[in-house]
A and B are shown apart, each in its own frame.
Chain A
Amino acid sequence: MCGLSASRGRGLTPARKNRLRAVANPLMSVAEPLPMPALPNYARSPVDRALADRAFDAQDNSPAWLEALRADGRRRDDAIADLHELLLRAARFEIGRRRAALSFVRGEELDDLAVQAADDALVAVLAKLDDYRGASRFTTWAYKFALLEAGVRLRRRAWQGREVVLEPERWPVFADPQQTAQRTAEDADLLRELQRAVLHDLTPHQRDVFVALALNEVPIDVLAERLDTTRGALYKTLHDARTKLRRELAAAGYLDEDVR
């Protein structure tokens, strides 16, 4: 991607970044690091530093961002470089926020994921710049692209090498040990009716999607990748399956009005 390669190739030094912010680019205030007493700054990973940076400007610089990104030449290149930096900070923050679920992944690999997410988010933001309508700050609008890209990569990385099973691996146990024998029997009946409805009332595709997403808790992006479809299409199928199951359980008298 030309703009990104160009911005990387310039090798932004800290001094250059400060000059960009102070002179050529009024778009970003210099972030004030939050105190992180556990480690000195040089010892922190990029993900930790992103967690410690403030994300938000005090004032809304959306018009300046748009103007600079739509300008020509060096002004636009500088704005793109700063936008990439902003997106990278957001991606690193998101990966840091969810790092506990990926404790088995090396820090270097996590930072590679953040850079990939920021790269793709930058492409998306620039391609959709005319879709920005000002419903939020430009930076908030841009952040969501970085979070989306980071989130998808994290979920896929967490499931890398794992088989996606489209058969029920386990049915939820509704029984509560504290409840009465009558309630236990009611719950068992409900579970049987749910199993019957899943097996007999859903289409094969609805059943596969419901079982994978709702029962086996496969992340939707992972399933979308394996089935070569989109998150939106899968969620629509899941929604239709849930609606059908709810209708069947209600018809059989198993749902309270407010669950229905």
Chain B
Amino acid sequence: MSELGRKKLEALLGPTGPQVTCEECFEHLDEYVELELRGADADERVPGMRAHLDGCPACADEHQGLRALLER
């Protein structure tokens, strides 16, 4: 498989491994972003969050928005 094909396939098939649901993502989003901004290991504290953000564009939007808002 070409590198381009591989990337497009990964985008279509989404992340592998366990991930939180959209509801769980929203529940932990504030904690996760504050951990990230403190430099703590947010992915260890909220397992499955990163995979969900990689697979769900809407939740990823909200994650980026909250980070941007707090980082100003």
Q: Cβ of B69 and Cβ of A93 under 8 Å apart?
A: yes
Across the interface, which residues of A come within 8 angstroms of B6, CB to CB?
Answer: 256, 259
Given the complex, which residues of B lie within 8 Å of A90, measured CB to CB?
69
Q: How far is the CB of B19 from chain A (nearest CB, A)?
A: 8
Residue of B nearest to A141 (CB): B30
Name A182-218 residues within 8 Å CB distance of B: 183-184, 186-187, 190-191, 194, 214-215
A55 contacts B29, C-beta separation under 8 Å: no
Verify if A221 is at the interface (C-beta below 8 Å from B). yes
CB pair B72–A56 under 8 Å, yes or no, is yes
- C-alpha spacing A256/B68, complex, angstroms: 36
The distance in angstroms between the C-alpha atoms of A137 and B35, with both chains bound, is 11
Produce 1/0 per residue, A201-240, CB < 8 A to B.
0000000000000110001110000000001100110110
A58 to chain B, nearest CB (A): 13
B64's nearest neighbour on chain A, judged by CB, is A97
- Interface residue count for B (Cβ, 8 Å)? 37
Q: State the CA gap A148–B55 with chains docked (Å).
A: 17
Q: Could you mark each residue 22-41 of chain B with 1 if its beta carbon is under 8 Å from any beta carbon of chain A, else 0?
A: 11001011110110000000
Q: In whole angstroms, what is the CA distance A97 to B61 when docked? A: 11
- Whether, in the assembled complex, A135 has its beta carbon less than 8 Å from a beta carbon of chain B, the answer is yes
Q: Which residues of the partner chain B approach A175 to less than 8 Å between Cβ atoms?
A: 2, 4-5
User: Within the complex, what minimum Cβ distance (angstroms) separates A164 from chain B?
Assistant: 15
Q: List which A119-150 residues lie within 8 A (CB) of chain B.
A: 135-137, 140-141, 143-144, 147-148, 150
Interface SS majority for chain A? helix
The yes or no answer to A242 lying at the interface (CB within 8 A) is yes
Instruction: Count CB-based A-B contacts (< 8 Å).
Output: 132
B21 contact set on A, CB distance < 8 A = 232, 235-236
Determine if A13 is an interface residue (Cβ-Cβ < 8 Å). Answer: no
Q: In the complex, A41 Cα to B71 Cα: how many Å?
A: 22
Nearest residue, chain B, Cβ from A148: B62
Residues of B1-58 contacting chain A, CB below 8 A: 1-6, 8-14, 16, 19, 21-23, 26, 28-31, 33-34, 55-58
Q: Which residue of B1, B33, B61 contacts A186 across the interface (Cβ within 8 Å)? A: B1
Confirm or deny: A176 has a beta carbon within 8 angstroms of a beta carbon on chain B.
yes
Query: Is A144 a contact partner of B29 (Cβ separation < 8 A)?
Result: yes
Inter-chain contact B65/A97, CB cutoff 8 Å: yes
B36 CB, nearest partner CB in chain A, Å: 11
- State the CA gap A141–B19 with chains docked (Å): 21
Query: Taking the complex as formed, is A246 at the interface, i.e. its CB lies under 8 A from any CB of chain B?
Result: yes
Listed by A's residue number, 5 A-B pairs whose Cβ atoms lie within 8 Å are: A137-B34, A151-B61, A174-B4, A176-B3, A235-B22
**Given contacts A98-B61, A136-B30, could you give 8 more A-B pairs where the C-beta distance is less than 8 Å?**
A93-B65, A143-B69, A144-B66, A174-B8, A176-B5, A242-B55, A255-B9, A256-B6
